[in-house]
Amino acid sequence: MDTVEQYVQEVERLIDAVMQTQRGSIEKAAELSAEALCGEGFIFTFGTGHSHILAEEIFYRAGGLARVCPILEDSLMLHRGAAASSMYERAPGLAGLLLDNVDALQYGGVLFLFSNSGCNTVAVEMAELAKKRGLKTVCITNITHSTKMKSRHPAGLKLKDVCDVVIDNCGCYGDAAISFGEYSAGATSTVIGSMIMQAIVCRAIELCQAKGITPELFSSANTLGGDEKNAAHLKKYKPLVKSL
């Protein structure tokens, strides 16, 4: 068996593990999302480094919910300086500044936070401050990895300690799942995190429809009529969601 098969089998194993152990937490996250959508609230997302990929996973894409507001900060991503982003995600005080700049926050809702380690200051503070501002919080993290890490938060807290719902991506310590002797490759947190988020969105829509409400959804802009279908959502939400 070569490493292509090894990696795919590992992803399949993790999907099974998530379904066996995290189904209840996924359901709770979907319920919170449906509650937010049915109450005219928003789904907010936040992640740093590679985890910002998950913050964008359900934003403005085919089948994506219109009431999604990602909290994106260049300094915490990789395109402005990968090494620097690791420094900024450990900085106290940044989370509050970012939240102050989110206009849609006034409508309330639920904040999804993504961090494989769950130990950096900005994500933990973001969760703490969001809860103080009335948001429900959900995190997708790696419990095995997080448990072995020392928190960089001033009070020693980790993301799993402060969120209302905690979803384990069931990954290994270090995230890279395929061993090459001294080193490992094949990170799994992104593919598993994406699967979890898309599943939550689908279930949240289903729960909304059970209440007689169908949430607004974006269509692919690269389909016939896609731009026309999306235009109304863009006009309605662009004043509130800066990333639109």
Using DSSP, state whether 178 is helix, strand or coil: strand
In a domain, 38, yes or no: yes
Give the pLDDT score at 85. Answer: 47
Residue 133 amino acid letter: R
Greatest distance between any 2 Cα atoms in the chain: 55
In a domain, 243, yes or no: no
The total number of structural domains in the chain stands at: 1
- Kindly report the pTM of this predicted structure: 0.93
- pLDDT value, residue 77: 57
Containing H/E element for 110? strand 109-114
Query: Is 60 inside a domain boundary?
Result: yes
Domain boundaries, position 224? 3-237
The pLDDT value given to residue 78: 54
Residues facing residue 140 across a β-bridge: 114, 167
Does residue 101 fall inside a structural domain? yes
Q: Which residues of the chain are under the pLDDT cut of 70?
A: 73-93, 155
153 is written with which tokens? Answer: 């938060």
Contacts of 176 (CB under 8 A, 6+ apart): 183, 184, 185, 186, 187
- pLDDT at res. 90: 53
Predicted pLDDT of residue 96? 78
In this structure, is residue 244 part of a structural domain? no
Does 107 reside within a domain? yes
pLDDT of residue 167: 98
For residue 132, give the CATH number of its domain: 3.40.50.10490
Quote the pLDDT of residue 5. 97
| Residue 144 within a domain | yes
Residue 134 is classified by DSSP as T
> Within a domain: residue 242?
no
